[in-house]
């Protein structure tokens, strides 16, 4: 099955979205019971953590943790936004830097200015988008970033998107309440798919589409511990309480180059494996044996693979034991914790 398909359906009663490219499941979004990233609270400062320079906050969804607080006193109300999912037993991570993100626009109330995505390089197109930005948001005090998805989009659609995000940002930031409250909900899987999967695709919305389009079968095949690699090797992904352990196995290949071949294939496959499982946090790679001179080639392939991934991931580097470490934003709930 060639081409790109976005399937919007439900999985075990939860809203879900799947991205399929050339018959291969590339991404999966599933709603969880935890507050979604992007949710905005009017929170109440609770107690400071001096050693960490942060503050615990009270929200309608439980305790939240805000880093780098200054001049904030217990009992004070503050606007914060959820930045990711908390580890089990920990507070919701939040920030005071609010972002209101849609398909074409990102509104930044605390960072004024009009900006165009750097990936749009054609000067005529940049001029067109800058004109739209000035006409729509030139008289406001909020900041605006036009995303790469604006390239080639209709001026009317872009302007409507900008207007909607500015209205939402102004409504939230001008709120004068004093009790803790949810002021804006983060986007669910269907909205996230519309917002972030912007390349041309067939969109399927009929109930039961996960079964008819092979998503359920792909989940059964793709979410096990072992991920088959090109060349016959395997990638084993095993989340633990402290970190995500990834083991690379060469399989039946016993040639001298088997280690570097398996490691390069693992580097290319790792972003998809983590996306589909919704995994983040500390990730440790136990690679197949290879000479140190091949490390640069591995790093190059790994860097290129994560460059195309939409979840922020820091490539930390090598440990004295020869493991490779990454730090990945907890932008999603682990699929294994959401569905059975």
CB of 246 closer than 8 Å to CB of 281? no
Confidence of residue 340 (pLDDT cuts 50, 70, 90): low
The CA-atom distances, in angstroms, between 13 and each of 30, 32, 333 are: 10, 11, 16
Q: Tell me, what's the pLDDT at 68?
A: 80
- Asked if the model's pLDDT at residue 16 lies above 70, the reply is yes
State percent of the chain over pLDDT 90.
80
Residue 34 near residue 90, CB atoms below 8 Å:
no
> 1-5, 51-55, 63-67, 191-195: which has the minimum mean pLDDT?
51-55
Is the predicted pLDDT of residue 331 greater than 80, yes or no? yes
**pLDDT at position 330:** 94
Q: Does domain 224-338 have CATH number 3.30.70?
A: no
pLDDT tens sequence across 213-224? 999 998 887 777
- Residue 50: predicted pLDDT: 77
Most confident of 63-72, 131-140, 326-335: 326-335
What pTM did the predictor assign? 0.90
**Confidence (pLDDT) at 231:** 86
Asked if the model's pLDDT at residue 128 lies above 90, the reply is yes
Q: How many CB atoms lie within 10 A of CB 52?
A: 11
DSSP H stretches of helix in the chain: 123-137, 155-173, 189-196, 209-212, 215-222, 258-277, 295-307, 335-338
φ/ψ region of 92 (left if φ > 0, alpha if ψ in -120 to 50, else beta) reads beta
Write down the domain spans for the chain: 1-30+188-222, 40-97, 100-177+183-187, 224-338
Among 104, 99, 98, 50, which Cα is nearest to 72's? 50
Asked if 138 contacts 111 with a C-beta cutoff of 8 angstroms, the reply is: no
pLDDT at 1 over 70: no
Higher-pLDDT residue of 297, 223: 297
pLDDT surpassing 70 at residue 322: yes
pLDDT surpassing 70 at residue 189: yes
Q: Confidence class of residue 186 from pLDDT cuts 50, 70 and 90?
A: very high
Residue 247, pLDDT above cutoff 90: yes
Q: Which of the four pLDDT bands, split at 50, 70 and 90, describes residue 199?
A: very high
pLDDT of 57 strictly over 90: yes
Among 1-10, 50-59, 84-93, which stretch is predicted with the lowest mean pLDDT?
Answer: 50-59
Query: Stretch 137-150: mean pLDDT, rounded?
Result: 91
Mean pLDDT of the chain: 93
196/231: higher pLDDT: 196
**Do 224-338 and 40-97 have the same topology in CATH?**
no
pLDDT category, 201, cuts 50, 70, 90? very high
CATH class of 40-97: mainly beta
């Amino acid at each position: 099955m060639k081409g790109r398909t976005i399937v919007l359906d439900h999985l075990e009663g939860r809203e879900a979205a799947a991205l399929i490219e050339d018959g291969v499941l590339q991404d999966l979004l599933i709603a969880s019971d935890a507050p979604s990233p992007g949710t905005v609270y009017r929170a109440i400062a609770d107690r400071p953590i001096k050693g960490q320079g942060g503050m615990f906050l009270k929200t309608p969804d439980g305790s939240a943790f805000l880093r780098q607080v200054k001049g904030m006193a217990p009992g004070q109300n503050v606007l914060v936004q959820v930045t990711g999912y908390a580890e089990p037993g920990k507070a919701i991570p939040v920030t005071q830097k609010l972002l209101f993100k849609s398909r074409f626009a990102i509104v930044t109330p605390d960072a004024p200015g009009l900006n165009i995505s750097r990936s749009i390089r054609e000067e005529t197109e940049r001029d067109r988008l800058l004109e739209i930005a000035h006409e729509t948001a030139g008289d406001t005090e909020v900041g605006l970033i036009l995303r790469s998805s604006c390239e080639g989009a209709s001026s009317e659609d872009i302007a409507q998107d900008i207007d909607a995000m500015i209205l939402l940002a102004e409504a939230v930031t001008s709120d004068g309440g004093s009790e803790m409250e949810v002021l804006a909900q983060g986007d669910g899987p269907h909205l996230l798919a519309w917002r972030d999967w912007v390349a041309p695709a067939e969109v399927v919305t009929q109930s039961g589409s996960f079964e008819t389009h092979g998503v359920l079968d792909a989940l059964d095949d793709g979410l096990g511990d072992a991920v088959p690699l090109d060349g016959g090797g395997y990638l084993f992904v095993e989340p633990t309480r402290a970190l995500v352990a990834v083991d690379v196995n060469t399989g039946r290949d016993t040639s001298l180059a088997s280690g570097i071949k398996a490691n390069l294939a693992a580097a290319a496959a790792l972003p998809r494996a983590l996306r589909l499982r919704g995994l983040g946090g500390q990730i440790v790679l136990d690679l197949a044996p290879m000479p140190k001179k091949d490390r640069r080639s591995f790093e190059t392939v790994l860097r290129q693979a994560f460059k195309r991934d939409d979840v922020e991931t820091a490539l930390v580097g090598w440990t004295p034991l020869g493991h490779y470490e990454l730090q990945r934003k907890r932008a999603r709930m682990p699929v294994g914790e959401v569905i059975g």
